[in-house]
Structure 1
Amino acid sequence: MRHGRSDVSTAQDQGRFRRGIRRVALDVTPLRTARDFRLLWLGELVSVTGSQISLVAVFVQVYALTHSSAAVCLVGLCQLVPLVLFTIFGGPIIDSHDRRRLLIGATLLQSGTSSLLLVGALIGHPPLALVYVAAGLGGGFGGFALSVRSAMLPNLVEPRQLPVALSLNQVMWNTCLIVGPGVGGVIIDELGLATAYAIDVGSFAAILAAAWMMRSQAPAPSEQPAAAAVTGSWRKVVEGFHFLRGRRVLQAAFYADLVAMIFGMPRALFPVLAVTQFHAGTKIVGALFSAVSVGAVIGALTTGWVGQVRRQGLAVLVAVAVWGMGIAAFGLVGDNLGLAFLLLAVAGGADVISAVFRGTILQLSVPDDLRGRMSAVHILVVTGGPRLGDLEAGLVASAFTPTISVVSGGVACIAGVVILAIAIPDFARFRMHVLPPVHEVAAS
């Protein structure tokens, strides 16, 4: 009898353990049940990895050509102008055309700019202007392609699966940010820049194949009668910003990411820090890039609990503050490479939590006929912020030192979060309807 009670107790303990793991561990339901989401996810996994290899190659190449941290930071500025133009004016195009075809076209253009970088590397010592132009156009086309993919996502999964799909995208994205820079640093060191760029060019075949096999995504009919009269792209852009103007919570979600990326993103200093602070070479540059994403992947793999958080705005603010603390502490570690990796990983984990909550707030707050324009704004913030951060980090490093640039950026990030919480108190109090867990929806 006593033995039977022990068996029952053990079974109950195991059941509680499994339920606990399910609440914390990442749910992969969208990958199993949504064919087109799975295709896009796998295509991006390969393509984004190639793009990250290319990103490290561009930074290393510019530093090798100039030996200037300011010149490296100008890469971000060169990418920013095309990024702004292509994402903002591309938003209305995304809302009015088949998104699958747009993805194919944008990807082909991206592969063209990567091919230009490959040609420059094969030359051996290309003009700096060629690298800047190719990287700038690649950033613009990449931002547009990312806007298209973001606008496609809500139509690929059930609404209740959206937070989980966003978490899966974070796992995919940050896995690419681990593998791409890490492998890229080794490839550049051992095989050269041309090989790195060639791998990037080839990686676009994966996303092209995925898009080719996906179903068409024709534009949704507008729910607003006045939208039918809007014919000019500029008027459609204005319409998108008009939608955003009165929604303070949505604005705050964008501001939070800008604060984190403009002040707390030190990636443009990694080539300099690898040489001057850590006394290493190209391989460490890739490892520093990857360290942030290692933490992000760990964070994303444990996002089973995010659906239970009721105050999503407060969660974003806390996550961004932790990011700032991690970056500031990273700037103070001296040449302790192990501690540097750990702090960058902590920052990356906080960033992915912020991204999941911000993405959920955005996707569930915007109607489909405006989703392309709002996704364009979102992608502009997500991709433009780090580029402004590159510029900020380089300017401060040039005026003072790289260490001061990193530490002051982290502190400014924390201060920005406090200011945002005071300026838009509704964001910290914001609550969105909590969706039932995806595994319950699938079971029903």
Structure 2
Amino acid sequence: MRVLKKSPLARVLPDLAPLRDSRDFRLLMASGVVTMVGTFVTMVALPFQMWQLTGSYLAVGMMSLAEFVPMVVCGLWGGAIADSLDRQKIILWSEVGLAATASALMVNAMLPEPQVWVLYVVGALSVGLACLQRPSMESLIPQVVRHDQLGAAAVLTSLRWNFGATVGPALGGWMVAELGAAAAYGLDAATFLLSMALLWRIGTRPPAADAAPASLRSLVEGVRYAVRRRDLMGTYLVDIAAMVFAMSTALFPALAEQYGAESATGLLYSAGAVGSLLASLTGRWTARVHRQGMGVIVAAMVWGAAVALAAAVPGFWALFACLALAGAADMISGIFRSTIWNQTIPHEMRGRLAGIELLSYSTGPMLGNTRASLMSQLGGTRFSLGAGGVLCVAAVAALAAALPSFRRYDSRTDEHALTERARRAEQALA
């Protein structure tokens, strides 16, 4: 019997097996593509409308501060309820709430005098609902995808995110400029209605029979479990270090001005998404990697090195290329982290750990941009960019040395991965 060899292209393009084999994963992906575009449209429309109404940079910046507390509280609580209630119902009811918040923003934008406080309050509520939903969404994936296909599923979900991150802001910017903020919010509300129709078809996913009710105690149990797992702590700490030291999007307007390309500032913001999209499209190889811990370390160090190199390059397009490389490395790191999480975390803990994951990759960029702004005040934008990249590489190297179990993680031999694989195989036979 002759075995057909895969073409070089087939070896790098995403593996579509999870989509072929799991109806529920197809529904989740379709829902995610739709809502991701709408969400990014609103992410552009909200600050744009705030600027139109106030003309104040401070007012725009305060929107992030208003969203911080709901993000932290709802992210953690969302993880607790994901382990104690039906995850499909949590996702559905969150979609209802998100459709309502988008509709409220649309109505406010249609008023003769839109109210600024509505943007703060409803925007914060929308972020809270999204963070409440996210742990259930993340913890549902291991339930609908085979254990051996979780790496491929991580690539596909990253591709979904990058599609939204690329198309959504461009569409949002055009809609706000040509049709107004109300149209942008209306599109977002419509995407949630379509998403609900898709998610309704997913089977219910009740919690484990012995699941603990959502409480402060269950939250603490989740944190304790994460702390005991040094490999998991490695995924969180490396990502936070990478973002704190090398995230520098706050510097992009000043960098564009220094290169004499103020009109191309938006390209700098899109560079990382372009690199991430390319990494997702060619990321099939990541599913063949078994030492994902080392993969996270190397990718995070490449991210930092690319940012440091961006400070030294002479031309605008070279800067764009460095930022795109950084975005690609960050996406590869994210794929490996997601694979470790989904391969090793028990079903009954997956929601609470997803809440912790949400905080780890949400707070880092906020702190990183604060760090970048302060360092630029001390030594200029290039100093901030270069020093941040170098500090990132050093911090990741130090964490790799301090966490040998994370550095040596291998999905073929790790006790937690083997336990989960055996449990999933037993469930399949039952």
Give the TM-score band, short-chain normalised.
0.7 to 0.9
* Aligned residues of 1:182 and 1:287 also touching (Cα < 8 A): no
Structure 2: 5+ residue stretches without partners? 418-430
Alignment of 1:392-431 (within 5 A): 392-396=371-375, 401-431=380-410
1:407 deviates by 3.8
1:104 deviates by 1.2
Alpha-carbon distance between aligned partners in 1 of 2:334 and 2:103, rounded to the nearest angstrom? 31
| Identity %, equivalent residues | 35
* Aligned residues of 2:95 and 2:196 also touching (Cα < 8 A): yes
* Aligned residues of 2:82 and 2:90 also touching (Cα < 8 A): yes
Alpha-carbon distance between aligned partners in 1 of 2:378 and 2:106, rounded to the nearest angstrom? 33
Provide Cα deviations, 1:86-105, integer angstroms capped at 9, x if missing partner. 01122221111111110011
Give 1:111's aligned residue: 99
Alpha-carbon distance between aligned partners in 1 of 2:51 and 2:311, rounded to the nearest angstrom? 21
Give 2:220's match in structure 1, choosing from 238, 246, 264: 238
* Aligned residues of 1:26 and 1:302 also touching (Cα < 8 A): yes
Alpha-carbon distance between aligned partners in 1 of 2:143 and 2:152, rounded to the nearest angstrom? 14
Structure 1: 5+ residue stretches without partners? 1-10, 223-227, 436-444
Provide Cα deviations, 1:367-425, integer angstroms capped at 9, x if missing partner. 10111101111122223333333444445556665555444433332232122122223
* Aligned residues of 2:78 and 2:134 also touching (Cα < 8 A): no
Would you say 1:363 and 2:339 are equivalent positions?
Answer: no
Give 1:259's match in structure 2, choosing from 229, 241, 247: 241
* Aligned residues of 1:76 and 1:390 also touching (Cα < 8 A): no
CA 1:270/1:113 → structure 2, altered by over 3 Å: closer, same or farther? farther
Give 1:156's aligned residue: 144
Alpha-carbon distance between aligned partners in 1 of 2:224 and 2:185, rounded to the nearest angstrom? 41
Give 2:85's aligned residue: 97
* Aligned residues of 1:53 and 1:181 also touching (Cα < 8 A): yes
Would you say 1:191 and 2:171 are equivalent positions?
Answer: no
Alpha-carbon distance between aligned partners in 1 of 2:77 and 2:258, rounded to the nearest angstrom? 41
Alpha-carbon distance between aligned partners in 2 of 1:119 and 1:271, rounded to the nearest angstrom? 32
Greater shift after overlay, 119-128 or 312-321? 119-128
Instruction: Write the letter of the residue equivalent to 1:233.
Output: S
Give 2:124's match in structure 1, choosing from 136, 160, 165: 136
Give 2:155's aligned residue: 167
Would you say 1:305 and 2:293 are equivalent positions?
Answer: no
* Aligned residues of 2:253 and 2:262 also touching (Cα < 8 A): no
Greater shift after overlay, 371-380 or 108-117? 108-117
Alignment of 1:7-406 (within 5 A): 16=5, 18-63=6-51, 72-123=60-111, 126=114, 128-222=116-210, 230-231=212-213, 233-270=215-252, 279-281=261-263, 284=264, 286-332=266-312, 336-396=315-375, 401-406=380-385
* Aligned residues of 1:163 and 1:307 also touching (Cα < 8 A): yes
Provide Cα deviations, 1:62-96, integer angstroms capped at 9, x if missing partner. 45566666654443332221111001122221111
Q: How many residues align?
A: 414
Alpha-carbon distance between aligned partners in 1 of 2:112 and 2:393, rounded to the nearest angstrom? 43
Instruction: Write the letter of the residue equivalent to 1:380.
Output: L
1:200 deviates by 1.9
CA 1:86/1:410 → structure 2, altered by over 3 Å: closer, same or farther? same
Alpha-carbon distance between aligned partners in 1 of 2:97 and 2:242, rounded to the nearest angstrom? 30
**TM-score, scaled to structure 2:** 0.86
1:279 deviates by 4.4
CA 1:66/1:273 → structure 2, altered by over 3 Å: closer, same or farther? farther
Instruction: Write the letter of the residue equivalent to 1:328.
Output: A
Instruction: Write the letter of the residue equivalent to 2:83.
Output: D
1:114 deviates by 2.9
1:331 deviates by 4.6
Greater shift after overlay, 261-270 or 287-296? 261-270
**TM-score, scaled to structure 1:** 0.83
Alpha-carbon distance between aligned partners in 2 of 1:145 and 1:105, rounded to the nearest angstrom? 9
Alpha-carbon distance between aligned partners in 2 of 1:278 and 1:52, rounded to the nearest angstrom? 28
C-alpha RMSD of the superposition = 3.0
* Aligned residues of 2:165 and 2:273 also touching (Cα < 8 A): yes
- Secondary structure of the residue aligned to 1:26 is coil
- Secondary structure of the residue aligned to 2:153 is helix
Alpha-carbon distance between aligned partners in 1 of 2:267 and 2:12, rounded to the nearest angstrom? 28
* Aligned residues of 2:84 and 2:213 also touching (Cα < 8 A): no
Greater shift after overlay, 426-435 or 295-304? 426-435
Instruction: Write the letter of the residue equivalent to 1:432.
Output: S
